[in-house]
A and B are shown apart, each in its own frame.
Chain A
Amino acid sequence: MSKTWLVASYDIKKHVYKRSFVLILLSVPFFVTIFIGFIALTISFENSSTPLGYVDHTGLLSDPIPLPSGEDEKRVEMVAFDTEEMAMAAIEAGEIQAYYLLGSDYFENREVELVYLEEPGDNARSDFYDFMQVNWAADQPIEVVQRVAGGNNVIIRSLDGRREFSTSGPTPGQLLPIVIGIMFIALVLFSAGYMLEGVTEEKLNRTIEVVFTSLSPTRLIGGKVLGVLGVNSLQLITWVFVGILAIFFARNVLNIDWLDNLQMQWDTVAMVAAVGVLSYLVATALMLAFGSTVVEAQEGQAVGMIFYMLFMIPLIAIVAIGENPNGPLAIGMSMIPFTSVLTLSLRSLFFTVPAWQLAASIFVHLLFVLAAVWLATRAFRLGMLRYGQRLKFKEIIGRAKSTGAEGGGA
């Protein structure tokens, strides 16, 4: 096995065998489960499938048309009662959750009365509203009745026609780039942490000098980057797998209709992924550089917090980006690693990012990658053997002559 792979394999095992890694890995599925469970619990509290009664003194519902019920769409059963006393008895017997009273003056004032002992479910009220609509249109052709039952469907389109929302809000496919963006940020932060930990550990426990006499700094850096990539891939695969499971569960068990429209916008996904990968490389290289220069591990953790804040800047500017997704602020933040991932994800929700902007962003990111890798390599070579002494930034920039794994001390 090549030494680069040996280093990568060792680093992967080192992180994966740690209890903290397992906690991080499971924390996302755990929170997803909690989130879905909370939604399911909320829905179950708000809804009730117990039949709903009605007493009709108007004759409107004398020969009622039942609500159209789809395979995945469970409607509350409507039960007619001749008198209010009978309906009340049914409530008390638990046969119905409530009943509506259509009084004889209903046609004048359009008012119905809801009678219950315990608040009925939201779905019961909503289904009765649809039930009334359908029956008001009972004398119309069946197509009209079905259309009425379908309700409003307003679609909002962007000016270029490539973005559209229905009244029910963005689809899961439209939100996916933002989810991917946030996932990249999480990965970048974790990878930066792993890289920092790996480098500072070897520097602070002095193992680095032994390792330097076994393989070249280039192979060592290569192995460490591969190791971090391996750990992150494991996290990513686990999270994607859990995400798919969660969607399957939410669609098929909890019957969340919103998840039906999972159509992806692949161009947006590819854009966010491209910028995300480059940001990932920049952050990892910078962490390698910082890790090589620090004297104590705690200093590195403080730097990690700064990265986190940089990534979160677009969330602070979310209103400005939403109001003017092609404004100077949005364009500028799309060009800079760290802010670019979330900015492009948010912009893509309202707007199609022009190809030239994407090309410019990728170009700028590539420049950042080259600069960060250069900086990291130099900092690594100069700083790793400098025990207890801080490496200054101007030393990294200033001494371009050296070619070995240099440090200081006699």
Chain B
Amino acid sequence: MNPTEVTHIAKAFGDTKAVVDVSFTVHPGEIFGLLGPNGAGKTTTIRIMLDIFKPDSGEVAILGGPMTEEKKERIGYMPEERGLYQDIALDRCLVYLATLKGLSKSEANERLDGYLERFDLAEHRKKKVKELSKGMQQKAQIINTVLHQPELIIIDEPFTSLDPVNTQLVKEIMGELRDSGVTIIMSTHQMHQVEELSDRILLIDEGRDVLYGNLNDIRRQYAGNAVLVRADRQLPQIPGVESVVQHNQATKLILAPETTPQQVLHTLVDDGVTLEKFEIAFPTLDEIFIQVVEPGED
């Protein structure tokens, strides 16, 4: 059973078509990246998945079928529009929201202790939420999403407002959750985080799915005819190379259409160049994203 199956959903608000045609499947135990520019329809898609909106057409199967009240307890959701009760103590807020997810009060309190310690919020537990910094509230929001130990987590921009230390902590927790079999759908603009964490992605643009599948396959698909080379000395002139650009610690060689990477490798070895790195230059997700969603581009 796939935790999420979305089939040709569409949703309009008045004359605005928020989602035109989106389909995808999320596999058990994976971190699935849901990407797209602002206004692409990501949030509406998520809200349809969670049964907050009904689709005008299409179908959604969550945890094996339509959404039910019981299934809501097996799902953790962190929306893009962060929301916690501001005028009450942090622990009271999180325990209340956890009880709405089916935990008993004592169970929620017990689990909360561990998470507050881990997120360095234990000493702030009695503070009103509004007294916490933005980063602390973000951490509290993440605790709220995972406290009831859901099977499926839908998380929108999880790293916003987090410093590098806490970003790493959240990544670790996401990794642990995935390893324990939890499925995570992560929507974010931070492409490097998706590259690091996600196995598969869906890119939505103007309400349609424009890119979907395994991340490595997609990068391969979008890879141009180029190689990344790092050598012990200056590279010689290589026939069939159209241009040379510096790329991080390496040199990116853009090849002519008729040139193959094997020919370039051969030339370098024949020239006696000691190679520290030689690999096919896959595009970054950022580059693919821009290429796909930029107006006038395919």
- Chain A residues touching B, range: 20 to 34
On chain A, the residues within 8 Å of B44 by CB distance are 409-410
**Chain A residues numbered 37-75 whose CB sits less than 8 Å from any CB in chain B:** none
A216 touches B69 (CB 8 A): yes
Q: Across the interface, do A206 and B83 meet the contact criterion of CB distance under 8 Å?
A: yes
B52 touches A205 (CB 8 A): no
Contact of B54 among A216, A404, A409 (CB under 8 A): A404
- In the complex, identify which listed stretch (A89-97, A207-215, A287-295, A310-318) lies at the interface while the others stay far away: A207-215
Question: 1/0 per residue B60-102: CB within 8 Å of A?
Answer: 0000000001001101011101111111100000001101110
- Give the interface SS of chain A, mostly helix, strand, loop or mixed: loop
Q: When chains A and B are docked, how far (Å) is the Cα of A219 from the Cα of B53? A: 17
A14-B88, A214-B101, A409-B43 given as contacts; is B79 within 8 A of A404 (CB)? no
B131 → A minimal CB distance (Å): 14
Interchain CB contact under 8 A, A404 and B83: no
A407 at the interface (CB under 8 A from B): yes
A residues less than 8 Å from B16 (CB atoms): 410
Question: Within residues 345 to 395 of chain A, which ones have a CB less than 8 A from any CB in chain B?
Answer: 385, 387
Query: With A and B bound together, what is the CA distance between A207 and B144 in angstroms?
Result: 11
Any chain B CB within 8 A of the CB of A405?
yes
Contacts of A152 in B (CB 8 A): none
Report the minimal beta-carbon distance from B286 to chain A, rounded to whole angstroms: 22
Chain A residues within 8 Å of B78, by CB: 210
| In the complex, number of A-B residue pairs with CB atoms less than 8 Å apart | 92
Contact A213:B83 (CB < 8 A) given known A10-B96, A405-B52, A410-B44: no
Q: A211, B100: Cβ atoms under 8 Å? A: yes
Quote the shortest CB–CB distance from A405 to chain B (angstroms). Answer: 5
- Min CB distance B208 to A, Å, is 13
Contact (Cβ within 8 A) B100 A385 = no
Cα(A402)–Cα(B96), bound, Å: 30
- Asked whether, in the complex, the Cβ of B72 is within 8 Å of the Cβ of A207, the reply is no
With an 8 A cutoff between CB atoms, is A406 at the interface? yes
How far in angstroms is the closest Cβ of chain A from B134? 14
Query: Footprint of B on A, CB under 8 Å?
Result: 1, 3, 6-7, 10, 14, 201-202, 205-216, 219, 385, 387, 402-410
A-B contact pairs, 23 of them (CB 8 A): A1-B99, A6-B100, A7-B100, A10-B96, A201-B85, A201-B86, A201-B87, A205-B85, A205-B86, A206-B81, A206-B83, A207-B84, A208-B83, A209-B77, A210-B97, A212-B52, A213-B72, A214-B73, A385-B52, A407-B47, A407-B53, A410-B16, A410-B42
